[in-house]
Amino acid sequence: MIYSPILLFKPYNMDLENKIEALLFYRAEPASIKKLAELLQEKEDAIESAVNSLAERRKESGLILMRKEKEILLATHPEMSETLKEIAKEEASGALTRVSIETLSIVLYMGPISKPQIDYIRGVNSHFILRHLLVRGLVEKIPHPQDGRTFLYKTTFDLLSYLGVPKQEELPAFFEFKEKLSKIESKQKEENAGGE
């Protein structure tokens, strides 16, 4: 008899703490108690209680729960800071990966652009790649003019200088690529409007 690999896994009834942990890991950015309650369709009191339990449980692990007023963030343990600094130095001086170049190209041709727009074009979460590009000084974050809670990403003068391009519009096939990427962005807006 042949078993499907999917049948070998027992269903897992995830508790609220684990749901919060998974959500914070996926978002890779701070989330408020209110937002977590909204996303998980739970009461804020239940979220608050689960966050406190999760913070206790995480104290002895490589990832900890950081808290600033009503916002929570899943972060690496402070004892890992020196090791992570060394890794970041190596990453900052090494060659760019294919996904870094892909993300950088989107910012070059579409910037200023939001993270959700970048994620949609790439089809995956771009948080870690954007952080890597920020550390290397290739992109920078600016406040979103229509939404003070979020940011837009744009290229730095250092990058344009390195590429030998005085302005974005002088990138190779700039308008052609911008038009293609704009069509993808328009499709996202249509999908979002259709889902409301």
Widest CA span in the chain:
66
Q: Are strands 113-114 and 147-155 parallel, antiparallel or unpaired?
A: antiparallel
Q: What is the pLDDT of residue 153?
A: 93
Instruction: Tell me the range of 61-75, 83-97, 172-186 where mean pLDDT is highest.
Output: 61-75
Q: Which domains does the chain have, with CATH numbers?
A: 5-78 (1.10.10.10), 95-195 (1.10.10.10)
Q: Is the pLDDT of residue 118 over 80?
A: yes
φ, ψ for residue 138 (rounded to 5)?
A: -90, -30
Count of residues in the chain: 196
φ, ψ for residue 160 (rounded to 5)?
A: -60, -40
- Per residue in 4-61, pLDDT (tens digit) is 444 444 455 578 888 888 888 877 788 888 888 888 888 989 988 988 888 888 888 8
Residues 21, 3: Cα–Cα separation, whole Å: 31
